[in-house]
Structure 1
Amino acid sequence: MPRSIWKGAISFGLVTIPIKLYSATEEKDVSFRQVHPEDGGRIKYRRVCEKCDQEIPFAEIAKGYETADGRMVILEKEDFDALPLTTTKSVEVVQFVAEDEVDPTYFAKTYFLEADGPGVKPYVLLRDALIQSGQSAVVKVALRSREAIALIRPKDGVLLMHTMLWPDELRDGAFAAPPAEVTVSEAEVDMARSFIDALSGEFDPSQFTDAYREAIEELVKSKLDGVELPVEAEAPEEAEVVDLVAALRASVEAAKKRREGAEEKKAM
């Protein structure tokens, strides 16, 4: 069982729900070491003070806040503990909204909420009330040395909490929008919708795999075993798209064949 990373309570009106917080995700990216290629030794970094050139142990490193005019303010643990935040050990419900009202761009990280001790019954109360009302709870919470807004929603009998970015942390993407004078025809849109229909279905994340991670693991194994990897044929270069309708029509046919092949493979 994973270890909880935070303990506190949800303030649901005058009802208090003691909870434990667990990370709901773990990244399984390929991990590399920085090494000296001649002998395989790991590269280490020294924490050195830029003023006195002395190496500073991690336990003696303090947090400093640099102001706009270049002055440095040293902050101690006691300073953080004394911050006047009501959310340091409390998850404060501030609003209820429909889940689809929140743009997924805001979501940062997902956590499991577990009822702690006497919190089981009020936990179930909040969970069932959210399910029946079709609402999610917008909350404020302080985690990892920062305050955040978050969304609590029920899923598979558990309450999930998605921490969210603040509005000023989202970049304006207007620069990426195509020029307004660029338009497409109804025939092109219809064919694009046909392609969407050909690939539409229920989302099943288990059918997807990380091909890059698998390829790296295979490469590492081949090097350990002293065996050359088989050379794969190069993919043919794609021709420049001139006729969007013709390209989409071909895409629809390819998608249909791929789906038929996948269904035949699943039936075997």
Structure 2
Amino acid sequence: MHTLWKGSISFGLVNVPVKMHAATEARDLKFNYLHKECKNRIRQIKKCPVCDLEVGSDDLVKGFEYEKDRYVVLDDEELTSLEQPMSRSIDILDFINLPEIDPIYYQKSYYLSPEETALKAYRLLCQSMEESGKVALARVTMRSKQHLACLRVFENGLVMETMYYPQEIRHMDVVWDRVVPTEAELTMARQLIENLARPFDPEKYHDELHEQMVSLIESKVTGETYQVETPSKGGKVVDLMEALKASIALTESEKSQSQPIKPNETINLINSVNDGDGLEKRHADNSQDKIINKPKSTLTPRKRTSRRAKEA
């Protein structure tokens, strides 16, 4: 894996030299703008609207807009002087229980692998954290920005999750907490949740839109025709109890087959109850709404390494 950053984990008087690698990758398909007539790629040009000149990277400076169209300029030396003196250190602040951190705080995941001289210290930290059941809250500076981070054991190694600060989390204006469901509705809702409860299996879930987009692109490359049947739209659900009853009936039958339930399929079944149709008939109709099966694609997004990552 490509190394993005080198530093050390610091807790107490212990330092563990580590290398940082991206733990996830974007699977988005990148599109370029082309000239409609000649199909050549359009180049983006940086141009000053006042001087009417094209400018390069060396001609750019960083400015902060403190008022409308008024900027204060900060040079690289001034920004560098604000960096923390231990910018190559992941400083552990506290050890806490993982369930105490709400997932809304997590930002991005990175793998931390040990340098050759720190294998024993790295393994010691992993094993002691795993046995204690604790995770570490740390502070790290990357790319001139200080991050709050969570270190935890994953697949016998350390993964670091950069986190948002509390000031960066928006809060909802809750007005629906005054609505009180009936006991019958709560009972049926709990039953529906129990019917849908299963062990987490990440391989079970797929980005269906991404797979369809890849198939569309491959069909255009090979000159084939790609057809997708438009999924049927569900009608309006008019009764909450009827919706719960229909959903429970569906999950009871699907649970034995261990197959995921599609939202539009559930809505259609709910409306079939409202319309007086049988569940079996509606379920049979929906099973025909399938996309053409094609072999798994080998088309992957082109990976790009930023200049900053290369310099790290």
Q: Distance in 2 between matches of 1:115 and 1:68?
A: 46
Supply the distance in 1 between the matched residues of 2:162 and 2:48 (Cα, whole angstroms). Answer: 35
Equivalence for 1:266 = none
2:148 aligned with 1:160: no
Question: Displacement of 1:241 after TM fit?
Answer: 2.1
Instruction: Give the residue type in structure 2 aligned to 1:253.
Output: A
- Residue in 2 that maps onto 1:72: 72
**Counterpart in 1 of 2:187?**
190
Q: Deviations over 1:122-153 (max 9, x none)?
A: 21121111111111111000112210110001
Query: Which residue matches 2:196?
Result: 199
Structure 1 residue 178, shift from structure 2 partner: 4.3
Counterpart mapping for 1:234-245 below 5 A: 234-235=231-232, 237-245=233-241
Question: What is the CA–CA distance in structure 2 between the aligned matches of 1:85 and 1:11, rounded to whole Å?
Answer: 15
Structure 1 residues 189, 224: closer, same or farther in 2, change over 3 A? same
* Counterpart Cα distance in 2 of 1:165 and 1:85: 19
Seen in structure 2, the aligned counterparts of structure 1 residues 84 and 109 have a Cα distance that, compared at 3 Å, is closer
Q: 1-side partners of 2:230 and 2:64: how far apart?
A: 54
Q: Which amino acid aligns with 2:72?
A: M
Change (3 A) 1:71 1:239: closer
Equivalent residue for 2:254?
258
1:105-124 equivalences under 5 Å are 105-124=104-123
Q: Distance in 2 between matches of 1:110 and 1:233?
A: 36
**Matched AA of 1:172:** H
Given candidates 218, 232, 252, the residue that maps to 2:229 is 232
Q: Is the 8 A contact 1:87 1:140 kept in 2?
A: no
User: Which deviations, in whole Å up to 9, do the C-alpha atoms of 1:191-243 show, x marking residues without a partner?
Assistant: 111111111111111111111111112222233333333351541x4232232
Q: 1:7 to 1:234 in 2, by over 3 A?
A: closer
SS in 1 for 2:36: coil
% same residue: 33
SS in 1 for 2:176: coil
Task: Tell me which residue corresponds to 1:211.
Answer: 208
Stretch moving more, 124-133 or 215-224 = 215-224
TM-score, reference length from structure 1 = 0.89
**Which deviates more from structure 2 when the two are superposed, residues 3-12 or residues 112-121?**
112-121
Residue 117 of structure 1 and its aligned partner are, at CA, apart by 2.8
Cα 1:47–1:152 shift into 2, 3 Å: same
Q: Displacement, 1:97? A: 0.8
Aligned length: 258
Q: CA separation in 1, counterparts of 2:13 and 2:223?
A: 66
Does residue 103 (structure 1) correspond to residue 102 (structure 2)? The answer is: yes
Alignment-derived partner of residue 306 in structure 2: none
Partner of 2:47: helix, strand, or coil?
coil
Looking at structure 2, the residues matched to 233 and 6 of structure 1 have their Cα atoms a distance apart, in angstroms, of 46
Distance in 2 of aligned mates of 1:253 and 1:234: 22
In structure 2, the residue matched to 1:137 is 136
Is the contact made by 2:83 and 2:144 (CA closer than 8 Å) also made in structure 1?
A: no
Distance 2:248 2:181 in 1: 18
Tell which deviates more after alignment, 221-230 or 211-220: 221-230
Question: Could you say which residue in structure 1 is the equivalent of 2:7?
Answer: 8
Q: TM-score, normalised by structure 2?
A: 0.77
1:50 CA drift (Å): 3.4
Distance 1:73 1:110 in 2: 33
Paired residues of 2:189 and 2:244 also in contact (CA < 8 A): yes
Per-residue deviation, residues 143-186 of structure 1 (Å, max 9, x unmatched): 12210110001111101100001111111122xx3434422111
